[in-house]
Amino acid sequence: MQGDLEKLHWWQTRTFVALMALVAIIPLLRPEIPPLVDLPGHMGRYRVQLSRDAYPWLSDWYNFNWQLIGNLGIDILIIPLAKLFGLELAVKLIVMTIPALTVTGFLWIAREVHGRIPPTALFALPLAYSYAFQFGFVNFALSMALALNAFALWLRLARTGHFRLRAAIFVPLSCLIWVCHTFGWGVLGVLACSAEMVRQHDARTDRGPMSWIKAWVRAGLGCIPLALPIILMVVWRSGEHVGGETGDWFNWRAKIGWLTMALRDRWMAFDIASIAVLYLILFRGFRDPNVEYSRNLGLSALFLLVVFIVLPRIVFGSAYADMRLAPFMLGIAIIAVRPKKGLSIRGSATLAAAGLAFFLVRIAAGTVSFWMFADDYDRELKALDHLPVGARLVTFIGTECGSPWTMTRLEHLSAIALERKMAYTNDQWSMAGAQLLTTRYLPAGRFSHDPSQIVTSVQCPREWWRPISRAMARFPRDAFDYVWLIRPPAYDPKFNAGLVPIWRDGTSVLYRVDHGAPGIKISDEALRPRIRPVPTPF
């Protein structure tokens, strides 16, 4: 290509791409446990997976059954890596690769489509720390990072004419991405099909509506090497105990919200201003005479937009399905923008410098944010120094109705008691077919699994969370030895009867249950909570 023969600018070199990948891991260097909302819960599952034979009581509390499902990325990688580094460090190292791979994926795709990395592509790099990643959807995020790089490889092999090699590589590669997480395989299929459609259309001499139809058919045939996971999907979803609803279609308010939250982290004004920068780049792609959209990636972004619109909020019981796609849809649209040939080198360099500055500012802010969350983790986890191995622990973690912009990242922190102390914790997800683990500790009753660990000051509409007073009064005391309150809402101290405090820090406290103390007798009327309207986060 002509772009290969011309001198590369500083933002278009392999050295720069490698440096950006290294910069992307900076926020994750300090925290021992990456402060991602769901990640501690997953770490608890990994502990059961790795140690249930060494600690037989774990099998009394949890069912763990290996099966082929489209959600096994880190669950598989943790097996060899935990032996080398220990569970916590292994998880950290795997998670650190996700933003790095996301950055290389975006830049590699831009390189393959445009012939060289356009300066506007640098604005997409902060999406490596998207809201979906912050939420701790780590198998999903890993599969998407792999899918971006796989799509770049797909484009490269097509550009160099290695179609047979591409077919041979992508049959197993598509299966591996599906096993990591189904979502990554699906997005890879959408991207590959749209790119193949443009390539087939451009390769034809005839033009007109029929040429696009023929290109569509040929693109479908060209993507057959990606189709094998369809069989895996059918096998997975036809299992005896597979559950999970699919619903909440066309929730326009939520979808518009996801588009504003793609960079959501801690500071609402800063995060919204940052996403506004991305939309400004997209707007300039239509209005600025110096920049334009690539037809290839523009079509890919359009396809992803259609999927985003059609995708429901809940798929197979997994929430936030459409939210997960939003940042990657925006990322593909951003890297579709490129300067026109008339733009001067100085103008391109200025754009690249602005994009780099934007990325570095977001990384700096993310580093400070993660440092602060890590301090919260360190402070709360000191309670585990007072918890014996194998304890039966019920935890109540305070939260607010609605969705405050800054998530505390504490919602599944209690699972570290399972990971470090082999204790029973009531925060594990228990949905057959969605993950490998389900709970089986019947004495815990309705306090056996997620979201029983989440408590509020009052009853929140449309939520399963209990008010703190009801949780403290109703949890089965014979089933648990310890109660861990993590920043709970204020409640009447009378519910502490029969609980002996053994550690306290601020409002957080660890109690030992005195099984010889008389039970609490509270009327249902006294526990009937007020209902607070749900505030919006923006």
Check pLDDT > 60 for residue 523: no
DSSP state of 535: P
Residues sharing a CB contact under 8 Å with residue 181, sequence separation 6 or more, in sequence order: 70, 71, 73, 139, 140, 142, 143, 144
CA dihedral 247, 135, 229, 152 (to 10 degrees): 130
- What count of Cα atoms within 13 Å lies in the side-chain half-sphere of residue 44? 30
Lowest mean pLDDT across 144-158, 198-212, 282-296, 303-317: 198-212
107 and 20 in contact (C-beta within 8 Å)?
A: yes
What dihedral do alpha carbons 366, 371, 376, 382 form, nearest 10°? 150
Residues 6+ apart with CB under 8 A from 388: 421
Cα distances (Å, whole numbers) of residue 466 to 38, 336, 401, 481: 19, 46, 11, 21
Asked if 336 contacts 118 with a C-beta cutoff of 8 angstroms, the reply is no
Q: Please provide the DSSP assignment of 270-303 as one string.
A: HHHHHHHHHHHHHHHHHH-TTEEE-HHHHHHHHH
Confidence of residue 460 (pLDDT cuts 50, 70, 90): confident
pLDDT average, residue stretch 336-365 = 90
CB-based contacts of 221, cutoff 8 Å, min separation 6: none
Tell me the pLDDT tens digit for each residue of 249-271. 878 888 999 999 999 999 999 99
- CB-CB contact of 156 with 116 (8 Å): no
pLDDT digits 0-9 by tens, 428-458: 998 877 789 999 999 999 999 999 999 999 9
Mean pLDDT of 407-426: 96
Mean pLDDT of 301-311: 92
Q: How far apart are CA 85 and CA 98, in angstroms?
A: 18
Q: What is the pLDDT of residues 474-512, one digit of tens each?
A: 999 999 999 999 999 999 999 999 999 999 999 999 999
**Alpha-carbon span 53 to 293, nearest angstrom:** 56
CB 453 within 8 A of CB 429: no
pLDDT at 3 over 60: no
Where is average pLDDT lowest: 106-110, 124-128, 282-286? 282-286
The per-residue pLDDT for 14 is: 94
State residue 241's pLDDT score.
57
> What are the sequence ranges of the domains in the chain?
2-30+67-237+246-370, 387-527
Q: Give 174's contacts (C-beta < 8 A, 6+ positions apart).
A: 150, 185, 188, 189, 225, 226, 227, 228, 229
Nearest Cα neighbor of 440 from 123, 60, 21 is 60
Q: Are the C-beta atoms of 338 and 291 separated by less than 8 Å?
A: yes
Task: Quote the pLDDT of residue 239.
Answer: 60
Q: What does pLDDT average to over the chain?
A: 90
Closest by Cα among 130, 96, 24 to 359: 24
Secondary structure (3-state) at 76: helix
Q: How far apart are CA 19 and CA 404, in angstroms?
A: 34
pLDDT on residue 5: 43
Both structure tokens of 48: 């059961």
Angle between the 87-114 and 73-85 helix axes, to the nearest 10 degrees? 130
Over residues 448-474, the mean pLDDT reads 91
Find the length of the chain: 538
Contacts of 16 (CB under 8 A, 6+ apart): 10
**pLDDT tens sequence across 137-170:** 999 999 999 999 999 999 999 999 999 999 999 9
For range 196-216, the mean pLDDT: 76
Which tokens belong to 159?
A: 């550009």
Strands 466-467 and 454-456: parallel
Give the Cα separation of 148 and 351 in Å (integer).
24
